[in-house]
Amino acid sequence: MNNNTKIRIKEKKYHSIQQPDIQPQLSLVQRQKIRILLKPAPQIQSPDIIIKKYKQFYKITFTFSTTIIAQFTQVEGFPQHFYLPVCFQSLVDQRVPGFQIQGNNSIFEYQIQFQNAQKFNQLQLKTTLENQYGFFQIQYQLEPISLILRDIEQFQNKNQSPQRTTLIFDFPLFPHQQLGLDQARKFEKFAFLDSPGLGKSLPSLIFLLDFQKPILIIAPFIVHQNWVKTIKQLGIDFVEMSKKKTEINSFYALQKQQKYSLMDYSQIHKTNNFIQLFNNSALQKVILLLTFTEFQKIINDGLNLKLTSLLIDEFHEYKDITAKRTQLLVNFCNQITNVAILTATPALNNSTELYSILRILGLNVTMKAFQDRYAITENTKKYQKIIAHKNVKELSQILKIFSIRRSYDLLPIPAVKRVKFQIMIPKTNQLSTPSCPALLQLASTLPKLPFFLNFYKNFNHKSVVFFSSIQVADALQSICPKIDGRTSIQERKTLIRQFQDDEIQKIALSMECANLGFDLSNCGICFFLQLCWTAAGIVQAEGRIRRVSSKFRQILSVFVDGGSEVENQILNVIQKKGDLFEAIYGEEKIELSEVFGVESIETWIGQNMVKVDDM
DNA sequence: TTCCAGAACGACTCATTCGG
DNA sequence: CCGAATGAGTCGTTCTGGAA
């Protein structure tokens, strides 16, 4: 038996170790309904913080001497600890050194008393809370008392000895990135929901670095390279130890305190005493880059990661709260204090998709309560279908507290011109409407495909074609290179590089693959030969060419239209979904401005598509 | 509930490298 | 030189998302 064999056996042993799952036993109080009111309070004097447990309720008292009481009665749907950070934050903002909470289960009444009444008056406070947080439209439900205690404890700690040190990095942030970071820094858990291309990764990483803990990054494998790049950009010290396999695998755990080290799962295997390393508080400077499955493995191995902070990239992959992986993440996030969520498409289809974001951020309301409040459902024969949204303004206000979303208007990126490109198809070619959705996409495409292929063969401008069925991909292959689910990562990179370097003029991209991290800023025209089912998908796809680094002032987004019924159906679905986006974030809708024929496309391009450096 | 497509992964094969 | 270890590539499975 040689040395290597020994190591392998050791690792297997380590994997079989099952650590007991230690879950804190929370002492629960009954949920109760409260509503927020403001009224003047009598003057009280007492300097100490007292937390007393009675038979039926807890009484929590902070510093006294105040003139305002916020009373909470009759609330449904939200936990109290959800608004407590907000209260705390508003107090911190107003430089109020202390306040009081009095809670009483039996009479369903809570009180928060603010100290230092001279600095603001009742009206001011009410306006501030209303304007900033929509405080008085939001209704809350009480959480387990231990969570309230935890929040208060955190608040105490923060005020007495601020745990958070703000790190300064040389790398300059855009103003909007700085703004996002500033808002995030008021919270322990935060969601970065900016539009694609606005740069979410840097601020979110800095946000977590502040906490001085090991950082776990969960991201799809394909964007790992981007993260390595981001981390390098920050100028964080780490040492490259090996150049085997791929670039990703080339960073080994560096067991020195002064430097950050970037690791991935394969290195955990290679590090025998990883558990000891990770649990050692001295090892705070580790950034662990994982795919979700690797993360799952680590959790199953029983590795204690409770002292880490977590960053979840492309969070829309976890939006189904019933999915196993989402459940796992929610449970894990409840045990740790610092979480950052990143996604550019928080709500693709309906408002309930925002639920898992709020769960990760600490909301503990049931799915049913959330759905009742924010979605309109319709009972079909077999299942409950969500057909529309309601109370979106309120939901939007809640989201604006714990997350930040900005869209393109912040940046000097090219405007987008969306047009319809009409292809006339002989009527006999139209297929009957199939029942299966995937076939629906295909059926809408097949009749126009020969015409488009013929057109595109002679189209001599740099452009991208988006498709969604592999059959279409195979057809397009005869004209230009394509990237779909079957293309390997290496191949994708090569193609993208060649396209950016003008070696290839035309390229076909699958809508699904286009979601992740491609930068095609050297191109100004995209064709949608097929559509996906969501407005956000289209924006994402356009986002590949519509970037800050783009060489164009205006990009052309062409919807290839065969004029069939099916296509109109799909477009309707997309536009309906766009409404939700607009209602929550006030973003632009997908609307087609003009109908172009073959000649008018050429003319328009000739007149408008000018590269910036040609001007 | 159904179906299809894609992502990720494990199991497997095959070729190459390494240690004794 | 042989067998074990390692790496690359392929195939099938599982899970998820999306529509009706």
Contact call for residues A264 and A227 (beta carbons, < 8 A): no
A594 phi, psi to nearest 5 deg: -135, 165
One-letter amino acid for residue A218 of the chain: I
pLDDT at residue A113, rounded to an integer: 33
Q: Answer yes or no: is A469 CB < 7 A from strand B.
A: yes
Residue A291, nucleotide of least CA–C1' distance: B8
Q: Give SS3 for A591.
A: coil
Q: Where are the alpha helices (DSSP H) in A17-144?
A: 80-93, 122-133
A549 and A461 part of one domain = yes
Contact call for residues A562 and A549 (beta carbons, < 8 A): no
Mean pLDDT of A197-224: 75
Distance CA A239, CA A267 (A): 14
Per-residue pLDDT at A70 exceeds 50: no
Burial environment of residue A427 by CB neighbours within 10 A (0 to 12, 13 to 18, 19 or more): exposed
Task: Please report which confidence band the pLDDT of residue A517 belongs to, taking 50, 70 and 90 as the band edges.
Answer: low
Q: Domain for residue A313, yes or no?
A: yes
Distance CA A231, CA A287 (A): 9
Mean pLDDT of A364-373: 64
Instruction: Please state whether beta strands A463-467 and A506-510 pair in parallel, antiparallel, or not at all (unpaired).
Output: parallel
Distance CA A326, CA A153 (A): 28
Q: Give SS3 for A256.
A: coil
A203 and A306 part of one domain = yes
DSSP string of A298-367, one letter each residue: HHHTT---TTSEEEESSGGGG--TTSHHHHHHHHHHHH-S-EEEE-S-S-SS-GGGGHHHHHHTT----H
Per-residue pLDDT at A43 exceeds 60: no
What six digits make up the tokens of A109?
A: 């009444």
pLDDT at residue A526, rounded to an integer: 82
Q: Domain for residue A240, yes or no?
A: yes
Q: CA at A386, C1' at B2: how many angstroms apart?
A: 18
Instruction: Give A463's DSSP letter.
Output: E
A307 and A344 part of one domain = yes
Per-residue pLDDT at A408 exceeds 60: yes
A553 and A576 part of one domain = yes
pLDDT at residue A359, rounded to an integer: 73
Mean pLDDT of A369-397: 62
**Max mean pLDDT range (A45-54, A57-66, A236-245, A466-475):** A466-475
A420 and A394 part of one domain = no
Cβ-Cβ contacts under 8 Å for A120 (sequence gap 6 or more):
A94, A96, A128
- For the entire predicted model, the pTM comes to 0.60
Higher pLDDT, A226 or A217: A217
A442 and A519 part of one domain = yes
Q: Residue A554's CB: how many other CB atoms inside 10 A?
A: 14
Residue A468, nucleotide of least CA–C1' distance: B5
Residues facing residue A509 across a β-bridge: A466, A483
DSSP string of A160-201, one letter each residue: HS--------SSPPPHHHHHHHHHHTT-SEEEE-PPTTS--H
**Max mean pLDDT range (A22-36, A535-549, A567-581):** A535-549
Contact call for residues A241 and A254 (beta carbons, < 8 A): yes
pLDDT at residue A294, rounded to an integer: 63
Q: Answer yes or no: is A511 CB < 7 A from strand B.
A: no
Residue A350, nucleotide of least CA–C1' distance: C18
Residue A435, nucleotide of least CA–C1' distance: C20
**Max mean pLDDT range (A43-57, A226-240, A397-411):** A397-411
A387 and A419 part of one domain = no
Region of residue A44 (phi > 0: left; psi between -120 and 50: alpha; otherwise: beta)? beta
Distance CA A444, CA A439 (A): 8
A340 phi, psi to nearest 5 deg: -125, 135
pLDDT at residue A115, rounded to an integer: 30
Distance CA A353, CA A566 (A): 26
pLDDT at residue A32, rounded to an integer: 22
Q: Answer yes or no: is A5 CB < 7 A from strand C.
A: yes
End-to-end Cα, chain A, rounded Å: 70
Percent with pLDDT over 70 in chain A: 32
Q: CA at A489, C1' at C14: how many angstroms apart?
A: 21
Higher pLDDT, A438 or A140: A438
Distance CA A70, CA A100 (A): 10
What does the pLDDT look like over A115-125, one tens digit per residue? Answer: 333 333 334 43
pLDDT at residue A202, rounded to an integer: 82
3-state helix, strand, coil in chain A (%, to 5): 40, 20, 40
- CATH number for the domain that contains residue A465: 3.40.50.300
pLDDT at residue A105, rounded to an integer: 23
Q: Domain for residue A238, yes or no?
A: yes
Q: CA at A151, C1' at C19: how many angstroms apart?
A: 43
Average pLDDT score, chain A? 57
Mean pLDDT of A370-380: 65
Give, as ranges, the nucleotides of chain C with any atom within 7 Å of a protein CB.
4-8, 15-20
A329 and A233 part of one domain = yes
Q: Answer yes or no: is A348 CB < 7 A from strand C.
A: yes
Instruction: Give A552's DSSP letter.
Output: B
State how far the alpha carbon of A293 is from the alpha carbons of A229, A299, A516, in Å. 22, 10, 18
Distance CA A606, CA A522 (A): 17
A285 and A359 part of one domain = yes
User: Which H helix or E strand runs over A418?
Assistant: strand A415-422
State how far the alpha carbon of A557 is from the alpha carbons of A266, A418, A528, A536, A614, in Å. 42, 5, 8, 14, 21
Task: Please report which confidence band the pLDDT of residue A109 belongs to, taking 50, 70 and 90 as the band edges.
Answer: very low
Q: Domain for residue A40, yes or no?
A: no
- CATH number for the domain that contains residue A383: 3.40.50.10810
Residue A385, nucleotide of least CA–C1' distance: C20
Q: Answer yes or no: is A292 CB < 7 A from strand B.
A: yes
Give, as ranges, the nucleotides of chain B with any atom within 7 Å of a protein CB.
1, 3-10, 19-20
Domain carrying residue A598:
415-424+437-611
Q: Domain for residue A503, yes or no?
A: yes
Q: Which of residues 500-539 of A touch strand C (CB under 7 A)?
A: 533-534
The full 3-state SS of A211-246, as one line of letters, equals CCCCEEEECCHHHHHHHHHHHHHCCCCCCECCCCCC
Tell me how many domains chain A contains. 2
Q: Answer yes or no: is A221 CB < 7 A from strand B.
A: yes
Contact call for residues A424 and A553 (beta carbons, < 8 A): no
Q: Domain for residue A224, yes or no?
A: yes
Higher pLDDT, A581 or A263: A581
Q: Which of residues 329-388 of A touch strand B (CB under 7 A)?
A: 382-383
A515 and A557 part of one domain = yes
Q: Domain for residue A267, yes or no?
A: no
A487 and A583 part of one domain = yes
User: Which H helix or E strand runs over A438?
Assistant: helix A437-445
A204 and A284 part of one domain = yes
Q: Answer yes or no: is A438 CB < 7 A from strand B.
A: yes
Which of A392, A314, A376 minimizes the C-alpha distance to A586? A392
Distance CA A279, CA A379 (A): 50
Q: Domain for residue A318, yes or no?
A: yes
Give the residue carrying structure tokens 């009749």: A447
